Structure 1
Amino acid sequence: MKLDTPLFRNLFTPEMKQLVEIFNRHGHELRIAGGAVRDLIMDKLPVDIDFATTATPDQMKELFEAEKIRLINNKGEKHGTITARINDKENFEVTTLRIDVVTDGRHAEVQFTRDWQLDANRRDLTINAMFLGFDGTLYDYFHGREDLDQRKIKFVGNPEARIQEDYLRILRYFRFYGRIASNPNSHDAETLEAIRNNAQGLAGISGERIWMELRKIITGSYADYIMETMMSLGLTPYMGLPEKCNIKEFQRICQLTEGLSPLSMTRLSALLEDENQVYELDQRLKLSKEEIRLALFIIDKRSQDFEESVPLKYFSDLIVDAKEPKMKERILELIKYKGDTALLRTISEWSPPKFPITGHDLTQKNVPKGPIFAKTLNELRNIWKEKNYQITKEELLLELDRIVKQLGL
């Protein structure tokens, strides 16, 4: 079949056309590869476009040099990838067709080939193993288009063999399931069994790579169903999560946060019982400092009933008292966790006012430096908060004598 859509035709910038002409002129075939093909078939604009070619890296360097095209950032050359910058406008990553000669579940030693089907055979999922010619011809060796039309996620060939080449493919399977599938529980039984049999392989995958996939799963479609399936297959301990996560709480939070664009850590916190589990997760996934702080904040505050207080006042005081700028973002994520859309809108639109008193003001009033100075400033700040930030500088300074007397000056 041929693809002929406005989205596909609009990809052809002058620079891309030049790239295609260069390869044609030098007698090497070039095609769009992998995820970009999948997205184009689904009429989605690809975030990145990868290109595959029959030319070896040395041949690509020769042809680009002959055409006076600048090469940049060629760290991927040993894996067959050359990056060319055309007209100082666009970068194009082009990779030689290859086969995996030796794999250890994390990395692969590759050998270059001119056989498009052999290259497709080393890819993970059928929907990611297609190529697209620049005339719109679809090259589909493993029925990826059919699987995409039926919203099925399948490994190329034998599931166990594909997984054992790179165990991270277990999580990639679930990530793409959330993106593509039209039913939360239409997994192929053979695929799930292959995943169960190879779950321990995730232990050898770096935490950074696992977290990169897991955060997308958690914020994607069917996250509640997918996480339950992953737990049932014994995957969670290898990802730094408790063996018996609080899946019911996670499912509840997934429903509450639907449509609110929660951060991945906001949902993931629902699986954790206490701060110790946050630190254990960090040991495995190498979380950022802010991700750790967010998880600890949600776990600490989630059980509080803010309906009994005045939520806006409670949260605005937290924001005003915070000594770093991320507090408002954490509060917004906590409110998403609670599923309170009205309060979320209110806090989102609220901007913290500036405390009108400075240290200079106290110096001008002859308040001595030291503990009394700090206590005086703090008392004025408390009065300002009690008055809902509406009291003026002049009104606050009128309170100064009383405060100083109370502090024993």
Structure 2
Amino acid sequence: MAWMWCQLFLQRCRAGLHLFPLTQRGVRIQIQGRHLVTMKLESPEFQSLFTPGLKSIAELFEKEKYELRIAGGAVRDLLNGMKPQDVDFATVATPTQMKEMFQSAGVRMINNKGEKHGTITARLHEQNFEITTLRIDVVTDGRHAEVEFTTDWEKDAERRDLTINSMFLGLDGTLFDYFRGYEDLKNKKVRFVGHATQRIQEDYLRILRYFRFYGRVAEKPGDHEPNTLEAIKKNAKGLAGISGERIWVELKKILVGNHVQDDVIKLDLRLKISKEEKNLGLFIMKHRRDLIKAIDSPEPLKPYQDFIIDSREPDMNSRICELLKYQGEEHLLKEMQEWSVPSFPISGHDLRKMGISSGKEIGTVLQQLRDQWKKSGYQMDKEQLLTCVKNV
């Protein structure tokens, strides 16, 4: 048994996690018959979230003694070593308490549409923070839910769709996992929280969300739990009551999963998606792995830029931006959006002036010069490049 815990400790340390025992003899404890797994996250991706705005929000909630945690998909991304594009927060404070707190502190609040569901959006240091009160679903009809506020973190986790989306992360790095979401994430399993049928009937769109996350997390295309598939089959008709807009949003996300490339053409025939959307989905699936390795290089954006230069297609910049969104590379995305694609300064006409007449030779020399130009970071000008030809 001691050997097993040592192995578990080493595995989690390699992942940037440290065990955080709530008792002196382990990390898994039993509280009133319920299991809670905790550990501590100290990764660079987690630390990078602490902007001046988040620090101010954290200090405010701590001062008023309202617990604040990161919730949902952001926790999943952080555990996977990725910096989340969007971070949602959960708290025990009610919307009324949050509004009073923010008004007293002079914090601006925006977009009050989510207040009836417990969400208040605060804006500090040019950054928005969407914070939702812990809640339980009182009445559901498969599309919408009437909610009731609670201070029970596990009750809030229980109403969420999948175990990998039901975890919370304290601002000190402590992970709160009530339904073994971290275990499922590491084992690449996608499971509903509690009973699949109940979760689906609360919101039938969760059927598509299940397949979306399965495509991103699972290793094999058909490794579903039989009970899960059975629950989906029995409740699939419930999707008829979901708006086409909500369904299409999920289907577009499913298209960039790991196991759907062979089915894109079939899906296109069924849904009549636009040529642009189909080609974008195929592009992301084709290049998401070969280009993601460039992230660890000294110039992480350079391979993406070279890809754009080599493709010579006018819309390739926007496709690469969509690929970076999919990969979760927020900083690289911002740099790419600000980058102006440079023009290669040499043409075949320039080489003909130098006495090169063979079309095949012109093509070869142009490619060699293009490679030199890329190696220089697109800095070599026309005169410098032509000097290379003269030297040869």
TM over 0.5: yes
Q: How does 1:9-408 map to 2 (within 5 A)?
A: 9-87=47-125, 89-224=126-261, 251=262, 267=264, 269-271=265-267, 281=271, 291=274, 294=275, 348-349=311-312
1:60 & 1:334 partners in 2: Cα distance? 41
Contact 2:216 2:257 survives alignment (8 Å): yes
CA distance in 2, matches of 1:122, 1:131: 13
> Structure 1 residues 335, 91: closer, same or farther in 2, change over 3 A?
closer
What is the CA distance between 1:116 and its match in structure 2?
Answer: 0.3
In 2, are the aligned partners of 1:332 and 1:347 still within 8 Å (CA)?
A: no
Secondary structure of 1:82's match? strand
CA distance in 2, matches of 1:91, 1:199: 36
CA displacement 1:330-383 (0-9 Å, x = unmatched): 9977997xx9xxxx99995267xxxxxxxxxxxxxxxxxxxxxxxxxxxxxxxx
Q: Which consecutive aligned stretches of 4+ in structure 1 deviate over 4 angstroms post-superposition?
A: 329-336, 344-348
| Alpha-carbon distance in structure 2 between the residues aligned to 1:82 and 1:335 | 38
Q: Which has the higher strand share?
A: 2
State the 1:270 CA deviation: 3.6
Kept in 1: contact 2:268–2:278 (CA 8 A): no
1:145 is displaced (CA, Å) by 0.5
Is the CA contact (8 Å cut-off) linking 1:120 and 1:141 kept in structure 2?
yes
Alignment identity in percent?
60
CA shift digits 1:24-72 (9 cap, x unpaired): 1011110000100000000111010000000000000000011000001
Tell me whether 1:2 sits opposite 2:40 in the alignment.
Answer: yes
How far apart are the structure 2 equivalents of 1:38 and 1:334? 23
Question: What is the DSSP-based 3-state SS (H/G/I as helix, E as strand, rest coil) of the residue aligned with 1:106?
Answer: coil
In 1, the alpha carbon distance for the partners of 2:70 and 2:310 equals 45
RMSD (CA atoms):
2.7
Residues 60 and 148 of structure 1: CA distance in aligned 2, closer, same or farther (over 3 Å): same
CA contact under 8 A between 1:33 and 1:50: conserved in structure 2? yes
- Residue 160 of structure 1 contacts residue 194 of structure 1 at CA under 8 Å; is this kept in 2? yes
Alignment partners' CA distance in 1, 2:48 and 2:180: 26
Q: Alpha-carbon deviation of 1:219?
A: 2.5
Taking the aligned partners of 2:277 and 2:145, their CA distance within structure 1 comes to: 40
Q: TM-score, normalised to structure 1's length? A: 0.58
SS in 1 for 2:41: coil
Q: CA deviation at 1:271?
A: 4.0
Compare relative contact order (CA 8 Å, sep 6+) and give the higher one, 1 or 2.
2
Given that 2:139 and 2:146 are in contact with CA atoms closer than 8 Å, whether structure 1 keeps it comes out as yes
Cα pair distance change 1:23/1:335, threshold 3 Å: closer
Secondary structure of the 1:32 match is: strand
User: TM-score, structure 2 length as denominator?
Assistant: 0.61
Displacement of 1:10: 1.5
In structure 2, C-alpha distance between the alignment counterparts of 1:71 and 1:16, rounded to whole Å: 15
Is the contact between residue 39 and residue 45 of structure 1 (CA under 8 Å) also seen in structure 2? yes
Which string of whole-angstrom CA distances, capped at 9 and with x for unpartnered residues, describes residues 203-259 of structure 1? 0011111111111112221015xxxxxxxxxxxxxxxxxxxxxxxxxx2xx6xxxxx
Structure 1 residues 122-155: Cα deviation after superposition (integer angstroms, max 9, x where no partner):
0000000000001111110000010001000000
Runs of 5+ consecutive residues of structure 2 not aligned to the other structure: 1-38, 287-306, 315-392
Q: Which residue of 2 aligns with 1:312?
A: none
Q: Per the alignment, do residues 182 and 59 of structure 1 end up closer, same or farther by CA in structure 2, a change over 3 Å counting?
A: same
Structure 1 distance, partners of 2:277, 2:193, is 41
Q: 1:44 to 1:332 in 2, by over 3 A?
A: closer
Q: Secondary structure at the match of 1:71?
A: strand
- 1:27–1:222 distance in 2 versus 1, CA, 3 Å: same
Q: Is the 8 A contact 2:185 2:217 kept in 1?
A: yes
- 1:118 CA drift (Å): 0.4
CA distance in 1: counterparts of 2:88 and 2:184, whole angstroms: 21
Q: Which AA in structure 2 matches 1:12?
A: F
**Separation (CA, whole Å) in 2 of partners of 1:86 and 1:74:** 16
- Specify the alignment match of 1:407 in structure 2: none
Q: Within 2, Cα distance between the matches of 1:12 and 1:189? A: 42
Tell me how far apart the structure 1 counterparts of residues 248 and 141 of structure 2 sit (CA, whole Å). 20
Unaligned runs of 5+ in 1: 225-250, 255-266, 295-328, 352-409
Structure 1 residues 330 and 173 mapped into 2: Cα distance closer, same or farther (>3 Å)? closer
SS of 2:191's equivalent in the other structure is coil
Q: Which residue does the alignment assign to 2:302?
A: none
- Asked if 2 retains the 8 angstrom alpha-carbon contact of 1:82 and 1:95, the reply is yes
Q: 1:335 to 1:41 in 2, by over 3 A?
A: closer
State how far apart, in whole Å, the 1-side matches of 2:239 and 2:279 are: 33
Q: How many angstroms apart in 1 are the aligned matches of 2:118 and 2:281? A: 45
Aligned partner of residue 114 in structure 1, secondary structure: coil
Q: Counterpart amino acid of 1:97?
A: L
The answer to whether the 8 Å contact 2:71/2:88 transfers is yes
- Contact (CA 8 Å) 1:332, 1:348: kept in 2 or not? no
Q: 1:10 to 1:350 in 2, by over 3 A?
A: closer
1:332 and 1:138 map into 2 onto residues whose CA distance is: 39
